[in-house]
Structure 1
């Protein structure tokens, strides 16, 4: 996985062009856009799929953020939307108004990771209350130094880096930490491109940021993960902590949404089938947490039985453990 491939321009990125060659002029195209968190998985699937199809199908993958991706998806501009949170009520309404039915397919779990600069030796653990104090709207222009977070911390400027407002990571983090989605101070470096955030914290001794676990793993030589204390002591992000439910409240399911009409196109159907078949291996390869096999099997069954819609009712999935997701998905 090379996350540095993500284009800073946030337009459609042609996945794997260097490795798979220039696509034939008559290639069928599968259009994907959305979450930068889900991007590494979809990129890996797309590269392998294009190789398997010998360039007969081209897959384009954009990183407009979950919200930006759903805007395009609900206008019928894309076949698949990568999402780091469930579809929201307003997005459900937009899709319904446009006559777009969709399949909701959970594909992995993420440990949303809070990171600091490696030179930071004092903030090894932060509580949810500490993070709320830093990120809540009332902190804007006021909590600007580390010793304002905790008197034991040094007198050092606090520089913040986080997801942009079109990001599902922004929605999830603010709801899990602040208590309300999109409720955040605005005086921070924001981007839907997680590599911008990586570079910012890596260069800033007083930096603090957050993004998907895969971006931390890819850059752990220049970043330091913070243990999160959700009330039972600090827990570092890891696949094991996600699986056993101890990394809370920043563990979350991540998804792809498939346009039901697009699935009638052979190239989209083949890509989605390939995605579900290869997800367990590739999810692990790019450092996210694979779901139990019965979830991927349920996804395939959902497509076969044409069960469209969402099991989340337009709400976030904060604090949802893997077994809870499995139980809920079985109800659709």
Structure 2
């Protein structure tokens, strides 16, 4: 049995901070987006000019923030990080933009939630590297143009459909991040296990990868929880048996569903006979906010074929009935 032996000398905290890949060559999966970004960045470096602005779309935990850090590292510039909800006024954005130095990367997470006045200010900054700050109010108000150093904007969104057309059109590159395959997650976990000084065999990592919902963030989190179990209740080595026992303790089943996922499916099947049922009603039934059910649970349940959206509401599929150990009705839809 081949083991991933602990070699790193850094402490646990430093090791966890270094799990994120720092270069495109270290980034696992997303091969198409990675190749496209490599071409974009290499071409910009050869021209000695900032690359086109970059928009990254995809579900939470797929690596959008990591890729923004990689873009800054590949370009050799600084990185400024903020988020759409944090930019409530155009003045907030102007302060960030005017503090950038040439070649910096500005990362705006959840960019679809940026305030509209700030979004309109961002247009001129993206196109002309200039912002117009309005001084005063009423008829005496004056627009003062301020130059902005050439920069690259990296925007990330989990809801690409909520971006306005003018905003989306100003990005020269749009990358769609997909869920990871179990084999890709196993490769990622192998790297993380080495960095975190975790002894694990291939079968143990495969078990974790198969329950990670196709998401690197989930995979790394489960790896750390399985490590805790292995150190306390086993011999410290993550094997398939140890991983299964640990994930059972943390309520993660063989398909990667957690307590909330199963609560949603159980409510659909048991309380509403398989549906259809509206999102708000379903959220009340499981004691969560509608946004939580829609953004946290549904993407994976839809991808796993356990839930379907119809014009009348959410419906549990035949696979969902079977997963809960129940016999589906003869006609689900």
TM-score (norm. length: structure 1): 0.27
Q: Which has the larger radius of gyration?
A: 2
Question: Higher helix proportion, which one?
Answer: 2
TM-score (norm. length: structure 2): 0.27
Question: Higher strand proportion, which one?
Answer: 1
